[in-house]
Homo-oligomer: A and B are copies of this chain.
Amino acid sequence: MIDTREHILNTSLKLFLQKSFKEVTMKEIVETTGLSKGAFYHYFSSKEKVFEEVVDFFLSDFMKFDFSNLSHDSLKSFYSDYLKSMEEKIQSAGKIGLVTGDTFNANHYFLLFDALKMLPSFKDKHLEHNQNELNAWTEIVTSAKKSGEINSKIPDELIAKTFIYLGDGFGMHLIIDGAASKMHELKPLFDGIYMGFRA
């Protein structure tokens, strides 16, 4: 609790990951931080402003994926690393109290939907992020084909999209069902399509 400003940001992030912007009230933010309204408005000029910063922070820390850090040896090792990073993310989500027991009580889509609606610049950033993710996967697929790791007539980008969408769909089910511990069930799915693309 050294840095009050950061404390407010962390608390707000936690709240905005649990409910939508409208559902999170100033009263709630103030009470959860243990501060007062005066303190809050000393650091932020409005609820919108703290939301903006929360989104920025979340993007750079959570969503932004440094794909260059993942193994580029093979497609298999790439998605294995990818899955490992995902599990780590869930673990760090648990550390800030977003997982109680086995139950997920966070949903980053709240943040995403609100950001898309409220922050005009966000949509472009998000599309860029998506494009980067697609490019990273596509590159790996391309080199996996070159190396002979996989051998499929399906266009590289389609294979990349298959991995991405499969992961996203799985993640959505995870969030809705609230079962954080089932993250490991994604690997068999990736293994399955991987086998298919090898043939």
A189 to B168, CA, bound (A): 14
- How many of chain A's residues touch chain B, expressed as a range? 35 or more
B-side contacts of A130, CB under 8 Å: 173, 177
* Stretch among A7-15, A44-52, A77-85, A108-116 lining the B interface: A108-116
A169-B168, A169-B169, A170-B165 given as contacts; is B176 within 8 A of A126 (CB)? yes
Q: In residues 158-199 of chain A, which contact B (Cβ within 8 Å)?
A: 158-159, 161-162, 164-173, 176-177, 188-189, 192-193, 195-197, 199
**Copies of this chain held together in the complex:** 2
A197 touches which one: B117, B126, B162, B196 (CB < 8 A)?
Answer: B196
Task: Tell me if A142 counts as interface (CB < 8 A to partner B).
Answer: no
A189 engages B107 (CB within 8 Å) = no
- Sorted nearest first, the 3 A-B pairs with minimum C-beta distance are A196-B196, A169-B169, A165-B169
Report A's interface with B, CB cutoff 8 A: 19-20, 22-23, 107, 109-110, 112-113, 116-117, 126-127, 130, 152-154, 158-159, 161-162, 164-173, 176-177, 188-189, 192-193, 195-197, 199
Q: How far is the CB of A103 from chain B (nearest CB, A)?
A: 12
CA distance A127 to B192 in the complex (A): 24
| CB of A179, distance to nearest CB on chain B (Å) | 11
Query: Taking the nearest CB of chain B, how far is it from the CB of A149, in angstroms?
Result: 14
Q: 15 pairs across A/B with beta carbons < 8 Å?
A: A19-B117, A110-B113, A130-B177, A152-B192, A153-B195, A154-B195, A158-B188, A159-B192, A162-B193, A165-B166, A166-B169, A168-B172, A169-B171, A172-B172, A192-B197
**B165 and A189 form a contact (CB under 8 A):** yes
Sample of 19 more A-B contacts, CB < 8 Å, known A169-B169, A199-B199: A20-B22, A107-B113, A109-B113, A110-B113, A112-B176, A126-B176, A153-B195, A158-B188, A158-B189, A161-B189, A162-B166, A162-B189, A162-B193, A165-B165, A165-B169, A169-B170, A169-B172, A193-B196, A196-B197
